Chain A
């Protein structure tokens, strides 16, 4: 590959250390390709480390083997997933390839669909999750979905209601959950309003009106270089029936949201400046 000399050594080493799950052509069934990931993660590392400069705590809590990484979602453009993925690949022991579960509209977006699948993202379908966990992989889920990433400023750092799917999955596959609190995403692109009508017209889940639009014009849709704080909580294990009634599942989900709320508070306390 022409870009080979530019590949970051740490990225190459971490990807080489991952267990091999690809076929003879270098792809897994979901489209992940280590050779493309080398390029993608090299670019992502340079961007994330120089632009968002994440302050990471608790990365040792990410275990080897199957794990569900559950985080709060924010920032309009879901770059929080990229920050978590880069951190888990380069700072976790052993290095973990995070498989983000993406929204249903991503596969329809030209070019983006290919970039994210070569990097390891897959459609957030329960069967994809189950198959990947049974393959001892690490899955990143934002249970708030687009309600989380599309939050407006007045809703910042308020969890938008978690779905139950991730908990049923954890119970079904006997998978530990590592809660993650992400701080910084909310301020990276401050949205004052969600223009729902236009979003629907464009086939997008939401369309933010950035606070800096009058000042920066279209550039306001780009994220600001705020400093990110990632707080990884201790693994949580749950027991019970995966097909329990909603009330039983909600009680367990509540424990995860409480843990994430605590981690967000830790991150906000550690922050002395937005940048």
Chain B
């Protein structure tokens, strides 16, 4: 629980993204002063975020130090992980590993009391031999098939070590499942919004999704709570991938997995490894997080998916009436 120095502010990284802005919105409504930072160009802020101080700074450069200097920061919510695996490996390593390390060191140097780090469930990997559900204690196996995800694994492992190495900073590492929502622009949301969505013939694994609104609440709960550690954050339901596509009102077509692999390897920026997430289950269990932070998702699964694709479907099918 953050109690001291009510005037101190909360730093949210990745503020150019939809999730960080949703978190900032919730914090401001709760009466906190929030500052944001992102390495990407800063967007024009929505009306309810007007007046929020935002900075553009690479997490691994000295500019990020200036954000910490001269102000009292009581909590850092590090949501700015570069998750787009089609981006250059070197850039992802600089931001996710070196940048995160710098931010974590700055937390210690500047007496920050709480650090929440957003990791991802992708680090578990989707394998045919995955049991269900995967807990926080299960091995991180994604690197086995896909060494390019090393930056995400290293960020997670660095933050997990931090939990015990620096007890003066209460650190919570979150490993959410597929994050979707109207303002999210990651690989899975983009995929769901495609005009025609391919699925792998003969495969229909169980999947999970979490709405940005629910994840934003989870981040705020993690900050406000007392527990520390590494936690999975699942969604409202586990469902087959093709049922998810139905809920996303997607027009689908089957492709053989070998053809999909060949196409992605040859022509697409989409990471080939992610194909496994459409073949094999990677279902995570989040009982520990729900219990520790008294959290549960509130957006139903149908609304979670429908809201993610609503704008895209309106553009793609303007003739169809919508509720």
Contact A122 B132 (CB under 8 A): yes
State the main secondary structure of chain A at its contact with B: loop
Contact A125 B131 (CB under 8 A): yes
Instruction: Give complex CA distance A127, B133 in Å.
Output: 8
Number of contacting residues on A, CB 8 A? 25
**B292 interfacial contact with A, CB 8 Å:** no
Contact A107 B129 (CB under 8 A): yes
A21 to chain B, nearest CB (A): 12
Contact B240 A113 (CB under 8 A): no
Q: Which of A41-91 contact B (CB under 8 A)?
A: none
Chain B residue at minimal CB-CB distance from A106: B128
Contact A29 B283 (CB under 8 A): yes
Contact A31 B202 (CB under 8 A): no
Q: Which of B124-176 contact A (CB under 8 A)?
A: 128-133
**A110 interfacial contact with B, CB 8 Å:** yes
Chain A residues closer than 8 Å to B132, beta-carbon distance: 29-30, 122, 127-128, 131
Chain A residues closer than 8 Å to B133, beta-carbon distance: 29, 131
Contact B238 A23 (CB under 8 A): yes
Inter-chain residue pair count (beta carbon < 8 A): 64
Interface string of A171-198 (1 = CB under 8 A from B): 0000000000000000000000000000
Q: Which of B239-292 contact A (CB under 8 A)?
A: 239-240, 243, 257, 280-281, 283
A138 to chain B, nearest CB (A): 17
Chain B residues closer than 8 Å to A23, beta-carbon distance: 237-239
Instruction: Give complex CA distance A113, B128 in Å.
Output: 10
Instruction: Give complex CA distance A139, B257 in Å.
Output: 31
Number of contacting residues on B, CB 8 A? 23
Contact B202 A110 (CB under 8 A): yes
Interface string of B298-315 (1 = CB under 8 A from A): 001100000000000000
Instruction: Give complex CA distance A150, B205 in Å.
Output: 28
Q: Which of B196-225 contact A (CB under 8 A)?
A: 201-206
Chain B residues closer than 8 Å to A11, beta-carbon distance: none
**A136 interfacial contact with B, CB 8 Å:** no
Instruction: Give complex CA distance A27, B204 in Å.
Output: 13
Instruction: Give complex CA distance A111, B204 in Å.
Output: 8
State the main secondary structure of chain B at its contact with A: loop
Instruction: Give complex CA distance A30, B301 in Å.
Output: 17
Contact A27 B129 (CB under 8 A): no
Contact B129 A125 (CB under 8 A): yes
Q: Which of A14-36 contact B (CB under 8 A)?
A: 23-25, 27-31
Q: Which of A111-149 contact B (CB under 8 A)?
A: 111, 113-114, 117, 122-123, 125-128, 131
The listed residue (B202, B206, B280) touching A30 by CB distance below 8 A is B206
A36 to chain B, nearest CB (A): 10
Contact A27 B131 (CB under 8 A): no
**A104 interfacial contact with B, CB 8 Å:** yes
Chain A residues closer than 8 Å to B243, beta-carbon distance: 25, 27
Chain B residues closer than 8 Å to A269, beta-carbon distance: none
A-B contact pairs, 24 of them (CB 8 A): A23-B238, A24-B237, A25-B237, A27-B206, A27-B240, A28-B238, A29-B132, A29-B133, A29-B206, A30-B206, A31-B205, A104-B129, A108-B128, A109-B202, A110-B202, A110-B203, A113-B203, A122-B132, A123-B128, A123-B129, A123-B130, A125-B131, A126-B131, A131-B132
| 3 interchain residue pairs of minimum CB distance | A110-B202, A107-B128, A125-B131
B residues contacting A by CB (< 8 A) are: 128-133, 201-206, 237-240, 243, 257, 280-281, 283, 300-301
A residues contacting B by CB (< 8 A) are: 23-25, 27-31, 104-105, 107-111, 113-114, 117, 122-123, 125-128, 131
